[in-house]
């Protein structure tokens, strides 16, 4: 099929894909065909994969977690760091062997990595065993792409340069019956100088409030108790809507939905975390006692070169306000080590922020150069050995702070939403507290999907053990 193209889509598009799903299912339903999907990257991709699963199941495919027994293998890819990309190319080499043994096997690639020209060229030239390639803007078109592949027998490549309308109302799967992610916006306008996301996910666009609320109401009617509102920068939700509104206003409306128990959201950009939002978080009883607030680096000079639009001081002030409104809130963060030009002194500022804030946990990343971003061509790229040494020191600090934080829960009573049977010990159920902490406790399997009070008896650093009250 064709190269990049401009297509205007409307919301009737969803109906068209549903018709194709119905046609495909006529052919597929009795064939016992299986699909296997691997998802890389963030919650956005994880949620996109749920939509892919939803469509494939409706077509009649059966899901398997074993690639060797699948008739259709999909990789939903990430390119935020180089490692993620390397992993995909490694796996594609292995799939070539698999396909030699099983010529009918279909291989599909999608997600952020596909939105880069260099990757696409490489795939076309060197990975001709890939059957279907699509991107982040046209995921909903999978049924049609699959149909074209069946009809033509040729590789189908469909990548768009930018998004069109948001397509609503397609089937979606969810991993747990009682919790779900809900997109509230797509894309990002921030262009942090290290980050590739704005180039592969496009400009910021918010879903309409009514579409979001209706989706949540439908989910709640279907048994969902906890939702995660998703966006690259949820704090700027609603700015580009026909009738602009703030994220704080949205949060209050979501909070009012009867039957819903817990609300989480990510990610919050510090530059847009308003006082109005802090108040709304504190006042909305369903909003969980946690906040993911990436600070990336402690040095104000590094933050300036990262284009983050806040300083070390303003970040710490923001944390102070958040803690004042919600004294026991669990704060988590993302940190990058080794951004171009980062000096030892700059790095110490990062360590200082970690010590001052006392995060409940932190995701730490080694800076990865992404071609096409402004930081890739900045001078003074930090040598690998220096970055590694800093990274290890940061990790030690983060781990010890996390252990201290977890320790504070000993003998405390927490409320746990039980999610699943513990994989090691089937007598235990695993669940999460409002802070997002993992708790294992002896409980009847019928309590899965229910919230119970648990008294914490042991701290195992990465999880807690407790007894149901």
Q: 80 or 106, CB closer to ligand SF4?
A: 80
DSSP letters, 71-122, are SEEEEEE--SSHHHHHHHHHHHHHHHHHHHH-TT-EEEEEEGGGGSHHHHHH
**Selected binder of ligand SAH within 105, 133, 142, 197 (CB under 6 A):** 197
- Per the annotation, does 78 bind a ligand? yes
Integer Cα distance of 12 and 15 in angstroms: 5
Tell me how far, at minimum, the Cβ of 68 lies from ligand F3S, in Å: 26
Q: What are the beta bridge partners of residue 418?
A: 431
Selection from ligand F3S, ligand SAH, ligand SF4, none that 139 binds (CB < 5 to 8 A by kind) is none
**CB-based burial label for 57 (10 Å; 0-12, 13-18, 19+):** middle
Applying CB under 6 A, the site for ligand F3S has a residue count of 11
Smallest distance, ligand SF4 to C-beta of residue 386, A: 23
Interface with ligand F3S, residue 201, by CB under 6 A: yes
Shortest distance, CB of residue 361 to ligand F3S, whole angstroms? 18
- 150-189: contacts with ligand SAH (CB under 6 A): none
Is residue 291 within 8 A of residue 330, CB to CB? The reply is: yes
Name which position in 86, 191, 244, 317 contacts ligand SF4 (CB under 6 A): 191
3-state helix, strand, coil in the chain (%, to 5): 40, 20, 40
* Residue 191 contact among ligand SF4, ligand SAH, ligand F3S, none, beta carbon within 5 to 8 Å by kind: ligand SF4
Which residue in 36, 44, 219, 260 binds ligand F3S (CB under 6 A)?
Answer: 44
Spell out where 251-384 has E strands.
262-266, 290-292, 330-337, 361-366
CA-to-CA dists, residue 314 to 269, 319, 371, angstroms: 13, 9, 30
Minimum CB–partner distance for residue 61 and ligand SF4 (Å): 32
Q: Are the C-beta atoms of 143 and 24 separated by less than 8 Å?
A: yes
Q: Which string of b and e fits 246-275 if b means at least 16 CB within 10 Å?
A: bbbbbbeebbeeeebbbbbbbbbbbebbee
Name the minimum Å distance from CB 251 to ligand SF4.
19
Of these partners, ligand SF4, ligand F3S, ligand SAH, none, which one is at the site of residue 370 (CB under 5 to 8 Å by kind)? ligand SAH
Find out whether 273 and 234 touch, Cβ atoms under 8 Å: no
Beta bridge pairs of residue 39 = 76
Q: Does 227 bind ligand SAH (CB under 6 A)?
A: no
Among 74, 88, 197, 303, binds ligand SF4 (CB under 6 A): 197
Q: Are the C-beta atoms of residues 30 and 62 closer than 8 Å to each other?
A: no
36 appears as a binding residue in the annotation? no
In the region spanning residues 248 to 267, those forming contacts with ligand F3S, defined by CB under 6 A, are none
- Please give the residues from 312 up to 371 whose contact with ligand SAH meets the rule CB under 6 A: 334, 336, 365, 367-368, 370
Among the candidate windows 75-83, 204-212, 296-304, 449-457, which touches ligand F3S by CB under 6 A?
A: 75-83
Binding of residue 232 to ligand SF4 (CB under 6 A): yes
Cβ distance 466 to 439 under 8 Å?
yes
Which alpha helices (H) appear in 266-336, and where do they start and end? 275-283, 300-305, 312-325
Residue 166 C-beta: closest distance to ligand SF4, Å = 18
Candidates 41, 270, 338, 449; binder of ligand F3S (CB under 6 A) is 41
Q: In the set 21, 37, 45, 172, which binds ligand F3S (CB under 6 A)?
A: 45
As a whole number of angstroms, the distance between CA 433 and CA 439 comes to 7
| 14 touches 61 (CB < 8 A) | no
269 forms part of the interface with ligand SF4 (CB under 6 A): yes
Per DSSP, what are the bridge partners of residue 262? Answer: 226
**Residue 116 buriedness (CB in 10 A; 0-12 / 13-18 / 19+):** buried
Helices (H) and strands (E) in the chain, counts: 13, 19
Number of chain residues interacting with ligand SF4 (CB under 6 A): 10
Among the candidate windows 43-51, 105-113, 167-175, 189-197, which touches ligand SF4 by CB under 6 A?
Answer: 189-197
Peptide bond into 267 cis (omega under 30): yes
Per CB under 6 A, the segment of 66-74, 177-185, 190-198, 337-345 that binds ligand SF4 is 190-198
Indicate which single residue of 188, 224, 331, 401 sits in contact with ligand SF4 (rule: CB under 6 A).
188
Interface with ligand SF4 (CB under 6 A): 188, 190-192, 195, 197-198, 232-233, 269
Binding residues for ligand F3S, rule: CB under 6 A, are 41-42, 44-45, 78-80, 112, 197, 200-201
Interaction site with ligand SAH (CB under 6 A)? 42, 80-81, 194-195, 197, 232-233, 267, 269, 294, 296, 334, 336, 365, 367-368, 370
Residues that constitute the known binding site: 42, 78, 112, 188, 192, 195
Binding-site positions for [4Fe-4S] cluster = 42, 78, 112, 188, 192, 195
């Amino acid at each position: 099929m064709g190269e990049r193209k401009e297509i205007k889509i409307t919301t009737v598009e969803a109906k068209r894909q549903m018709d194709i799903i119905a046609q495909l299912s006529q052919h597929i339903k009795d064939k016992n065909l299986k699909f296997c999907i691997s998802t890389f990257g963030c919650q956005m991709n994880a949620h996109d994969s749920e939509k892919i699963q939803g469509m494939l199941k409706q077509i009649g495919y059966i899901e398997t977690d074993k690639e060797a027994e699948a008739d259709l293998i999909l990789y939903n890819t990430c390119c935020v760091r180089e490692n993620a990309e390397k992993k995909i190319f490694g796996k594609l080499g292995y799939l070539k062997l698999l396909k030699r043994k099983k010529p009918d096997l279909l291989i599909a690639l999608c997600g952020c990595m596909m939105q880069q020209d260099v990757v696409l060229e490489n795939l076309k030239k060197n990975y001709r065993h890939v059957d279907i390639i699509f991107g982040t803007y046209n995921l909903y078109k999978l049924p049609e792409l699959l149909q074209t592949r069946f009809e033509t027998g040729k590789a189908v490549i469909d990548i768009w340069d930018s998004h069109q309308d948001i397509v609503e109302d397609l089937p979606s799967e969810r991993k747990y019956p009682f919790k779900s992610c809900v997109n509230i916006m797509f894309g990002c306008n921030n262009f942090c100088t290290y980050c590739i996301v704005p180039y592969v996910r496009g400009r910021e666009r918010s879903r309409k409030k009514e579409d979001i609320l209706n989706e949540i109401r439908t989910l709640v009617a279907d048994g969902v108790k906890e939702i995660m509102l998703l966006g690259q920068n949820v704090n700027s939700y609603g700015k580009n809507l026909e009738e602009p509104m703030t994220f704080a206003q949205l949060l209050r409306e979501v909070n009012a939905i009867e039957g819903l128990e817990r609300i989480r959201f990510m990610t919050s950009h510090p530059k847009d975390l308003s006082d109005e939002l802090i108040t709304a978080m504190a006042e909305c009883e369903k909003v969980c006692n946690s906040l993911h607030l990436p600070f990336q680096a402690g040095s104000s000079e590094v933050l300036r070169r990262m284009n983050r639009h806040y300083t070390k001081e303003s970040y710490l002030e923001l944390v102070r306000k958040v803690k004042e409104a919600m004294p026991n809130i669990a704060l988590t963060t993302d940190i990058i080590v080794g951004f171009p030009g980062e000096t030892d002194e700059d790095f110490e500022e990062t360590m200082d922020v970690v010590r001052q804030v006392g995060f409940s946990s932190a995701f730490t990343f080694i800076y990865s150069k992404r071609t096409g971003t402004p930081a890739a061509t900045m001078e003074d790229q930090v040598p690998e050995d220096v970055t590694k040494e800093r990274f290890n020191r940061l990790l030690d600090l983060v781990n010890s702070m996390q252990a201290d934080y977890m320790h504070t829960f000993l003998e405390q009573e927490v409320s746990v939403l039980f999610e699943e049977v513990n994989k090691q010990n089937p007598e235990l159920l695993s669940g999460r507290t409002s802070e997002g902490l993992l708790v294992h406790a002896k409980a009847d399997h019928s309590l899965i999907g229910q919230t119970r009070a648990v008294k914490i008896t042991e701290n195992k650093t990465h999880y807690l053990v407790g007894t149901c009250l």
